[in-house]
Amino acid sequence: ILGIKYNAIKSLENWQLDLYTIKKTLNNVKIIYICNPNNPTGNLINQNDIIELLEITQGKSIVVIDEAYIEFCINYTIVHLIEKYSNLVILRTLSKAFSLAGLRCGFVLANQEIINLLLKVIAPYPIPEPVSDIAIQALNRKNLILMHNNVNKLINNKKKLIENLKKCHVVKNIFPSKTNYVLTKFFNSNHIFKALSKKGIIVRNQDHNIGLSNCLRISVGTNYETTRLISILQELSSY
Ligand SMILES: *Cc1c(COP(=O)(O)O)cnc(C)c1O
């Protein structure tokens, strides 16, 4: 939107960081932005690679790690590294595991120095009071437990979804997921996308993305939704 120059560095074939290319293009880079776990692939980025990047960019660039989906694999957060690396910024949101996408609230975790910089440029009164009231409630002990229980239920549903997807003949490959969606490669994703859409099931088409041809990103739903999706895919598999 602001016309800032950016370099998008393609990930390796295993969807890990291409540190070799990243290192070559670091000159004058102010911010490096990495989504972990990644969207739409659902994989984690190797922590050692992130640490290496933090080491070589110290005093030069800010490394922003977008942890939008981290509650689905909270053991892999790198929040503890903030103490060690003054150039690390972590982004979180209430839009995913907290089910509060409509609230439009997220937060930044970083060292005081970076927070102070943000305070200089942030608009006055940026968060409406009803939003901050609800955000505070969402983060209290009782509601954190609720979120945690929902995450566990979702992870169970994900297991069931993956087991059943494996049995569908229209499915070519299912990629490992640490998130609340499963990237799935079909033999003919456009056909599947349309058939699901006709039945009122919306998945995210990734067919246009580099390296993701014939891939759909399926969000993990409720038990009922998973069962319905699988029965439609099984029907499509029987032709
Ligand atoms: C959802 C999401 C966010 C956060 O979105 P907001 O609703 O604007 O808080 C950030 N990064 C990724 C990759 C996401 O999928």
Report all structural domains of the chain as residue ranges with CATH numbers, in order of start: 19-139 (3.40.640.10), 154-237 (3.90.1150.10)
N-to-C CA span, the chain? 47
Question: 68 CA distance to ligand 1 centroid (A)?
Answer: 6
Question: 145 CA distance to ligand 1 centroid (A)?
Answer: 22
Top mutation candidate among 64, 69, 70, 93 for ligand 1, by most atoms within 8 Å of CB: 93
Structure confidence by residue, pLDDT tens digits, 170-208 = 999 999 999 999 999 999 999 999 999 999 999 999 999
Banded model confidence at residue 1, pLDDT cuts 50, 70, 90: confident
Atom of ligand 1 at shortest distance to CA of 39?
13
Tell me how far apart the alpha carbons of residues 73 and 184 are, in angstroms, rounded to a whole number. Answer: 20
Write the burial class of residue 177 (CB in 10 Å: 0-12 exposed, 13-18 middle, 19+ buried): buried
Structure confidence by residue, pLDDT tens digits, 114-150 = 999 999 999 999 999 999 999 999 999 999 999 999 9
Contact (Cβ atoms closer than 8 angstroms) between residue 192 and residue 236: yes
Pocket of ligand 1 (CB under 6 A): 35, 39, 66, 68, 93, 95-96, 101, 106
Q: What DSSP string runs through 166-206?
A: HT-TTEEEE---SSSEEEEEESSHHHHHHHHHHTT---EE-
Angle at the Cα of 48 from the Cα atoms of 42 and 49, rounded to 5 degrees: 70
Top mutation candidate among 92, 96, 98 for ligand 1, by most atoms within 8 Å of CB: 96
Enumerate residues 6+ apart whose C-beta is below 8 A from 148: none
pTM attached to this predicted model: 0.95
